[in-house]
C-alpha cells in the first residue's frame, strides 16, 4: 500500500535511529525522501541503499542557510515539499547547576530553533504544493519533566506546534507533534546504558521499550492524508508512562 505515493518528504536527523526508521518506511510507502544529517557518511550510505527516491543533504539544522539549501535541493530534485519531519535532536543528562550556558544554548539551537527554521522554510515550499504536513518529534518530556534543557526544548516544540498549526491552517498545512517515550535507538541501547534501560522498562505499563518502527508508524499516519483533520495535536507513544 503506497500511503505516501506522490509525496515529497524531508526528514532531519535521518542517518540513524528514529530518523532512519522514518526514512525507510516513507520510501516503502511511495514517498520521495530527502534525508538530512551532519553524519555525511551514514546519511549518504543510507540514501544510496534506499535508491533513486532518496537524496542525502548534509545539514546543520540550526543554520538558516542550510535550511534554504535543503529546500532548494529538494525542489530541484523532487519538487515542492509535502511533508517535513523535524526529527533531529540531542539530549544531555546534567542538572541545572552543572550545565553551562553554552551547552544549554546548543540544545536549544538543535532541538528548538531548528523546528522554527524548518517549519518556516518548508511551509513556503508546501504552499507551492497546495498544502502539506509537518510532524515535530518532541518527547514524553514535552509533557512531563525530564532533564533540564532537553525538557525545556521539548515543551517548546509542543507549543510551537500549536502556534504554527493555527498560523498555517489557512494554507492547508497541518502541524502535529509526536511524543515518544523510551525508544530502542543506538543511543539508548548502547552497552553502558543497556542495564539501566532494561531496569527502567519494568516501570513502563507495557513492560518494554518501543522499537523505532513503532514511532515511524505514527509519523507515517500524520504525514499521510489519513490524518487530514488532525492539526495542533499531541500524539503520545510512551507505553503508558505519562498516563500513570
Positions annotated as catalytic residues are: 150
Going by C-alpha positions, the residue among 88, 24, 14 that lies closest to residue 220 is 24
- The single residue listed with the C-alpha cell 540544545 is 107
Tell me if 103 sits within 8 A of 124, measured CB to CB.
Answer: no
Q: Produce one character per residue of 115-126: b if its CB has 16 or more CB atoms within 10 Å, e if not.
A: bbbbbebbbebb
* Site of grid cell 527502567: 200
Q: Is the dihedral of CA 51, 212, 82, 221 positive or negative?
A: positive
What 8-state DSSP symbol labels residue 34? E
Q: ∠ CA(116), CA(60), CA(117), 5° rounding?
A: 15
> What's the DSSP call for residue 170?
G
DSSP, res 220: H
Within 8 A by CB and 6+ apart from 56, the residues are 34, 35, 36, 37, 40, 43, 44, 46, 47
Amino acid at each position: 500500500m503506497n500511503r505516501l505515493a506522490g509525496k515529497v518528504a524531508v526528514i532531519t536527523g535521518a542517518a540513524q535511529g528514529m530518523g532512519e526508521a522514518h526514512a525507510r518506511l516513507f520510501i516503502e510507502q511511495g514517498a520521495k525522501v530527502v534525508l538530512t544529517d551532519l553524519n555525511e557518511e551514514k546519511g549518504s550510505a543510507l540514501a544510496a541503499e534506499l535508491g533513486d527516491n532518496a537524496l542525502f543533504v548534509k545539514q546543520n539544522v540550526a543554520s538558516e542557510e542550510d535550511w534554504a539549501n535543503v529546500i532548494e535541493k529538494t525542489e530541484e530534485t523532487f519538487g515542492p515539499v509535502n511533508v517535513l519531519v523535524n526529527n533531529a535532536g540531542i539530549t544531555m543528562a546534567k542538572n541545572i547547576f552543572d550545565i553551562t550556558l553554552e551547552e544549554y544554548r546548543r540544545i536549544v539551537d538543535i532541538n528548538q530553533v531548528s523546528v522554527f527554521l524548518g517549519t518556516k522554510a518548508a511551509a513556503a515550499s508546501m504552499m507551492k504544493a497546495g498544502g502539506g504536513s509537518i510532524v515535530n518529534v518532541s518527547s514524553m518530556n514535552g509533557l512531563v519533566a525530564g532533564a533540564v534543557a532537553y525538557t525545556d526544548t521539548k515543551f517548546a516544540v509542543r507549543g510551537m506546534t500549536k502556534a504554527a498549526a493555527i498560523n498555517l491552517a489557512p494554507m492547508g498545512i497541518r502541524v502535529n507533534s509526536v511524543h515518544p517515550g523510551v525508544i530502542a535507538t543506538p543511543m539508548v541501547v548502547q552497552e553502558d546504558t543497556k542495564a539501566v534501560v532494561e531496569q527502567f522498562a519494568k516501570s513502563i505499563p507495557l513492560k518494554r521499550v518501543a522499537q523505532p518502527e513503532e514511532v515511524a508508524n505514527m509519523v507515517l499516519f500524520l504525514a499521510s492524508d489519513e490524518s487530514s483533520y488532525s492539526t495542533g495535536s499531541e500524539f503520545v507513544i510512551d507505553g503508558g508512562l505519562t498516563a500513570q
